[in-house]
């Protein structure tokens, strides 16, 4: 499966900047991923954008 770039120059820009590449890969996971992948991508993208933001606590399974 292929994903169309947001703009024709995006692949070139991503090759020049590793952090941009990471962010765009996570954004693509938000665009086409399944629920688990989208949730993980959202958490990682938020951490890249604002490293000082608190990370959400995962609930422990009960039982």
Q: Please state the domain extents for the chain.
A: 10-49
pLDDT in tens, 6-19: 888 999 999 999 99
Does residue 56 register a pLDDT over 80?
Answer: no
In the prediction, which pLDDT does 61 show? 67
End-to-end Cα distance, the chain = 39
In the prediction, which pLDDT does 63 show? 61
Cα gap 46→54, rounded to integer Å: 10
Cα gap 52→29, rounded to integer Å: 23
Nearest CA among 38, 36, 21 for reference residue 5: 21
Q: Locate tokens 């991508």: which residue?
A: 41
């Amino acid at each position: 499966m292929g994903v169309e770039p947001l703009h024709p120059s995006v692949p070139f820009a991503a090759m020049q900047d590793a952090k941009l590449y990471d962010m765009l890969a996570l954004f693509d996971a938000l665009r086409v991923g399944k629920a688990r992948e989208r949730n993980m991508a959202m958490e990682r993208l938020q951490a890249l954008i604002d490293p000082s933001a608190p990370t959400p606590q995962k609930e422990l399974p009960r039982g």
